[in-house]
Amino acid sequence: MGKKADIELLIQGVNLGFFFTKKDDSDKESLTEKLDECAGQRQLFQQALKSLLVLIKDFSFDIKELDADKFKKQMDTLSGEFSLSNKISRIEAAFDSGKDAIINYINNKKSYFKERENELKSIIDLLTKGLSVINEENIEFNQKIYDKSIAIGNITLLDDIKKIKDSIKSEVEHMQVVIREKQTSGQRQIEILTRELNALKCDLEKAQTASMTDGLTGAYNRLAMDNYLEKLVDKSVISNAPFALLMMDVDNFKKINDSYGHQIGDSVLVALIRQCKELIRKEDFLARYGGEEFTLILPNASLKNAVKKGTEICRAIELSCYVLGEKFGDQKLSFTISVGISTFQKGDTVKTVTERADNALYLAKKTGKNKVVTEKELK
């Protein structure tokens, strides 16, 4: 029974457990307005709570020791309860559970940062001791220079001008040797530290890149895609920023592998990514979703723009031809892809927006392949 039907029953005095007297039309309109206002307030509160949960997730940082991924999933679950549940008791239970999770995480975070603060103090103490050693070396160097200056000063006590000249020359030469040794030692230490720092920086960049990219195609991997999409959804919850998700799959890929071998199959995937990179913007996010399936995320793109881009990629792949090499008599191979597209909608999660794109892709494969299907075509 709908909201207006409930109002009619109340106004007509139907017995719903209480006795009501019949009201005039003005009371009916007033009650309808209040119910509409309550519904609007409820939606506003839901959106505000979801936005706050997104901000809390950002506050969590990506700290493995604090199990940040688990905490983020808890916040996503809580956000889903606020969106889907209409029962006050269920929402209240979810809020109590989520509140405890937030408090526990904050307490753990405080303890973690306290431990890191203590570790930082230890590092500062260690550096201080290291600086004191360097300072001792400088004191020793300064002492040598001072001794030489005293020696030069004492030379003036000599009577013979030639002896004074020869002695000054000798002491200055000794002083120059000491200074050069100090400069060489300092420069050598700087060069060693610079090389070690550059090597560490290079290793870190390689490790970061390797952890985010697919080893075969050079596209982003599934983990990087999940993290990027989660951040994009969170951003869109707060700012309603649009984005489109394209799921792309190589048609008849098993047949290619069976006919030519996995090495040629791998080359097909590499060729697909190379072709896509030539057609997308710098800010677009291209990732290998799994097997022969890839995702393309277009920030700030409408469904119309996403269809245009998906169609462009489809046609470019279809019109391309690849030489297989001497082993296959320089035979040429062509292949096609199917594309499913979804866009971010109000109330979406990573799961829902991905599922719609995946279902659209399935429909594209089912209805002929080598085509673009959008979420609008899903029944």
Tens digits of per-residue pLDDT, 119-134?
Answer: 767 766 665 655 555 5
Confidence check: pLDDT of 205 > 70: no
Mean pLDDT across the chain: 78
The rounded radius of gyration (Å) of the Cα atoms in the chain is: 36
pLDDT in tens, 210-223: 678 888 999 999 98
CA 176 to centroid of chain Cα atoms: 56
In this structure, are residues 110 and 134 in contact, taking their beta carbons and an 8 Å threshold? no
CA dist., res. 139 & res. 312, Å (int): 71
Non-local (6+) Cβ contacts of 357 within 8 A are: 245, 246, 247, 295, 340, 341, 342, 375
Q: Give the tokens for residue 36.
A: 């509409």
Query: What pLDDT score was predicted for residue 171?
Result: 62
Query: What pLDDT score was predicted for residue 370?
Result: 95
Confidence check: pLDDT of 140 > 90: no
What is the 8-class DSSP label of residue 115? H
Non-local (6+) Cβ contacts of 321 within 8 A are: 332, 333, 334
Is 292 noted as a catalytic residue in this protein?
yes
Pairwise pLDDT comparison (364 vs 204), residue with the higher score: 364
Mean pLDDT of 90-99: 75
Burial profile 140-157: b = 16 or more Cβ within 10 angstroms, e = fewer = ebeebeeebeeebeebee
Active-site annotation holder among 81, 171, 292, 375: 292
Q: Give the tokens for residue 195.
A: 């090389």
Pairwise pLDDT comparison (238 vs 280), residue with the higher score: 280
